[in-house]
Amino acid sequence: MPPSAHPHPIKSRWFRKPLEALFPDKRFDGQFQNPDTGEVFDFDDIIAATDPISEIAQTIAYYPQSDPAAQSAALCTVFISGLGQTEAESSKRSRRYAQVLNVGIANLHNGSFILDKPFLARINPYFDWLDAGIHRLGLLDSPVIENTARLILKAIETETSLNLSGDSHGTILLARALWRARRKFIRRSSRPWDLQQRREAIAQWQVQAREWINVFTFGHGYRNWVKGPRYSMVYIEGDPLPEKFGLTPIQANRRERGDIKFLKFPRLFKPGNFEAHNMMFTIEFLKTTFQINDLAVGDFYGLDQKLHHGSLDIPTQNQVQWPEDISDYVWNPTSLEGV
């Protein structure tokens, strides 16, 4: 299905119409997307389903396996991509994510300002970067934040496991969505003036979030993650986002955040090379991690157990069998020199 063919009407709020008219990909902000077909589903329609999380897994997610039995056994994750990715690019990268790690992927689209024929060609590529910076400062909202928060609360209410994944800018939106979900949970569970009830609601949030919400990030760009969910944070040494703007293992230890587990792969690129932030290299490291630890590729439960028990072996650069087409996913072709 071509990216322009959307059989599921997207219902936009009136105040977003001017933005969407100027930047068409923004129309799909916070909407679900099948990475294989490019088909987009209106979030409100999905969340209103009797069992929305099953609906996502069965109707929206792309699975690399053609065998229905294999699909039903595969982990399904809702993925929020990084900046600068329109529908087509987001689909391309998510398909590879699914194929390399043998996992089902349903995109929650992070709309881009990128245009095929920009009217401000010199500055158009920078709009997404500015957008991400403002999001990190908490000065701008996004449909992705609100919709992800609603999905998190729905998972807790229905006692259904929800796997959330994000990359780069997507991790900033995801982190803020988790805080928003927590605030809504507390408001629903306590009266503002009742401090005891509020403390009980906070404690209940942490119990429920840990039971039902799993978060897996790539190149995260946020530092203050809400307590509750189970976190696994993956990045390559030299990735500037987690090392300069995110949370490192040392910082997590100082903050007594033993609930957050890190999987840090060895340096692959020269210092200062932004390619270290490219998730397409990280997933190849991750695939090798499954293999050298005698885990089936895609066994995230087994990976999580080893990671939380400190028994996971980390692959070296030389252990990774880099695919020939990895060059199709680099941002700067010269980055591959010496890899």
Give yes or no for residue 4 having a pLDDT over 50.
Answer: no
Give yes or no for residue 194 having a pLDDT over 90.
Answer: no
Helix (H), strand (E) counts: the chain: 13, 8
The string of pLDDT tens digits covering residues 277-305 is 999 999 999 999 999 999 999 999 999 99
Give yes or no for residue 338 having a pLDDT over 60.
Answer: no
Per-residue HEC secondary structure of 253-264 comes to HHCCCCCEEEEE
Structure tokens at 223: 């530092």
- Name the 3-class secondary structure at 57: helix
The string of pLDDT tens digits covering residues 238-280 is 999 999 999 999 999 999 999 999 999 999 999 989 999 999 9
Average pLDDT (111-126) is 88
- How would residue 5 be classed by pLDDT, with cut points 50, 70 and 90? very low
What CA–CA distance (Å, rounded) separates 208 from 229?
A: 8
CB distance 60 to 36 below 8 Å = no
Average pLDDT for the chain? 91
Average pLDDT (128-153) is 94
Predicted local confidence at residue 246, as pLDDT: 96
The DSSP secondary-structure symbol of 225 reads P
Predicted local confidence at residue 107, as pLDDT: 97
CB distance 162 to 151 below 8 Å = yes
Give yes or no for residue 69 having a pLDDT over 60.
Answer: yes
Q: Find the angle CA(271)-CA(285)-CA(125) to the nearest 5 degrees.
A: 55
Q: Does the predicted model carry a pTM greater than 0.85?
A: yes
- How would residue 230 be classed by pLDDT, with cut points 50, 70 and 90? very high
What CA–CA distance (Å, rounded) separates 202 from 196?
A: 10
